[in-house]
Structure 1
Amino acid sequence: MTTGSTYTLQEINALSHDDFVQALSPLFEGPPWIVAETWSSRPFRSLDYLHASLCAVMYAAPLEQQVALIRSHPDLVGRAALAGTLSPSSTHEQSAAGLDRLSDEEIAAFSRYNQAYRERFGFPFVICARENKKESILAGFEQRLHNSPGQEIMLALGEVAKICLLRLRDLIRS
């Protein structure tokens, strides 16, 4: 999250439900159900406790809801990225990994991997781009294409948790 307001933890704890959802909804792609459900766990005594509370809601959700969360993520170097229609957070994260500076051959490789991955699992490949570069992301595609769907759901949720933590650190100031 590169733009917008930042908050102290005390300010987050004092927000109404609607304001809390609005402020924290950029932590996750898609509908803000995780944030909405986490509000009732206030007060949060630390950023780590807030993150753990958010992740607990995500991991406790029914499988269908978890898969819908994963499906809300954009493909890496996909149509939205190439068209410039990613969320500000996703744009920043893909840029940090160097995914906005690819050769035509690299774009084609990402396109092939995105398609193969979606065909195998039915959802996009999710990886914390801010913790990776294009080479490690491409290697991740190759490695993870051999996993079972259940393994990939758990790995993707783990990556969503990492993305959330980094976005949360951008949002909460000391």
Structure 2
Amino acid sequence: MRLDDLNQMDRPAFAATLHFAFELSPWVVERAWSARPFDSIEAMHGAMMQVLNAAPLGDKLALIRAHPELAGKAAIARTLTAESAAEQAGAGLDRLTPEEFARFHDLNAEYGKRFGFPFIICVRLNDKTSILRAMQARLSNDREAEIAEAITQIGLISKLRIQDAVTD
């Protein structure tokens, strides 16, 4: 799709077209609509990130919790969104050894217990080894730092998704 076409859309069409950008959370896209017209894809994504950064903590946590665990139950049950499934497969998370799967499972459980939400990382910019390293390292963060890091990672994920789908 073209940026010019997105700039012409009404709010419902805009949100429906870009709903995939923020995992099961079209409210981010919908709230950014009022900042149109966008001069660039970067400006559009920037408006979306402004919405997200200004959102109440409850909205941020809902978005974070909308993300699936990496190599978790949703992946096994094949109930991931198309975007998440492709991203996890691209990082090799659909081809884990039994030992790697057990390590992901254990770290997912420990992380979820500590923070109350799933571990978020832009898997397209990582591989399974770097993801496991980051999961282990980020367990030492406090909750506030980890919420901030999750939002940063969601920004990277959404930016790549939008860049794949929209042309200037």
**TM-score, normalised via structure 1 length:** 0.95
Q: Secondary structure at the match of 1:55?
A: helix
How far, CA to CA, are the matches of 1:162 and 1:41 in structure 2? 20
Q: How many corresponding residue pairs?
A: 168
Does residue 158 (structure 1) correspond to residue 155 (structure 2)? The answer is no
Tell me how large the CA RMSD over aligned residues is.
Answer: 0.7
Tell me the equivalent position of 2:82.
88
Q: Which runs of 5+ in 1 are unaligned?
A: 1-6
Q: Which runs of 5+ in 2 are unaligned?
A: none
Q: If the length of structure 2 is used for normalisation, what is the TM-score?
A: 0.98
Instruction: Tell me the secondary structure at the aligned position of residue 38 of structure 2.
Output: coil
Q: 1:131 is matched with which residue?
A: 125
Instruction: Tell me the percent identity.
Output: 43
Map of 1:1-174 to 2, 5 A cutoff? 7-174=1-168
- The answer to whether the 8 A contact 2:104-2:132 is kept is yes
CA distance in 1, matches of 2:34, 2:133: 40
State the AA in 2 paired with 1:146: S
Following superposition, which runs of at least 4 residues in structure 1 exceed 6 angstroms of deviation? none
Distance 1:163 1:35 in 2: 14
Distance in structure 2 (CA, Å) of the matches to 1:55 and 1:171: 17
Give the Cα separation in 2 of the matches to 1:15 and 1:92. 28
Paired with 1:140 and 1:77, the residues of 2 have a C-alpha distance of 15
What displacement does 1:31 show? Answer: 2.9
Compute the displacement of 1:13 (Å).
0.3
